[in-house]
Amino acid sequence: MATRDRTIENLIERLHRLPGVGPKTAERLAFHLMRVEADEALQLARAIEQVRAAVKTCSRCCNLDAQDPCSVCSDPARDRTMLLVIEDPREVVRFEDTGYRGLYHVLQGRLSQIEGIRPEDLTTDLLLRRVAADRPAEVCLATNPDLEGEGTARVLLERLAPLGVKVTRLARGLPAGSTIAQVSRSILADAMEGRRPLSS
């Protein structure tokens, strides 16, 4: 049986290894990369190579950046009394966009019994050492508002408690722009529980 050229099969297989890319999508992307201008395709290859050559994990906060310490950790204008603990380095720009100007600590994941991810698989130890050494005024546990994010926050709270630091968690409630008629029961329950006094 006639098969595809080895280099084509190899590209499809490599694309298929990307998260969320099934065999049909991998095939579609591969043929796209074969049909566009050569430079267009090669720029992607170069972008991958450049990122792997340049980007490293920050030894302080575990963010990904071209410099170590990362641009946040090495910025003297940042508020060093505030530490935001996040699961994923992608979340850094989300918080930057809100105007946050404190420091970060990237856990590089979340605890999960199903996936067998334990505290020692995350950057927990580094976080505890950092908090003990730098003693920020507040550590905000900004893990996701779901079962595993909550579980991770609870375990971190236990370990941070002996250090006597103020630990907070992001507010849960109605998402801006939602309608009460359409949000889920658990969102509304969170909003009720976290309701705040109004002052005139």
Does residue 76 belong to the site contacting a second copy (CB under 8 A)?
no
The whole-angstrom separation of Cα 58 and Cα 116 is 25
Q: What are the structure tokens assigned to 147, written together? A: 């079962």
The correct pick among 22, 23, 43, 171 for binding a second copy (CB under 8 A) is 43
Q: What are the structure tokens assigned to 79, written together? A: 């508020």
Q: Are 109 and 120 in contact (CB under 8 A)?
A: no
Instruction: Specify the DSSP element, H or E, that contains 154.
Output: helix 147-160
* Binders in 83-142 for a second copy, by CB under 8 A: 88-90, 92-93, 96-97
Does residue 74 belong to the site contacting a second copy (CB under 8 A)?
no
The stretch near a second copy (CB under 8 A) out of 15-23, 126-134, 140-148, 153-161 is 15-23
> Least distance from C-beta 155 to a second copy, angstroms?
22
The correct pick among 18, 171, 189, 192 for binding a second copy (CB under 8 A) is 18
Residue 17: CB atoms within 10 Å:
8
Q: What are the structure tokens assigned to 137, written together? A: 């005024």
Does residue 175 belong to the site contacting a second copy (CB under 8 A)?
no
Nearer to a second copy among residue 75 and residue 125 (C-beta)? 75
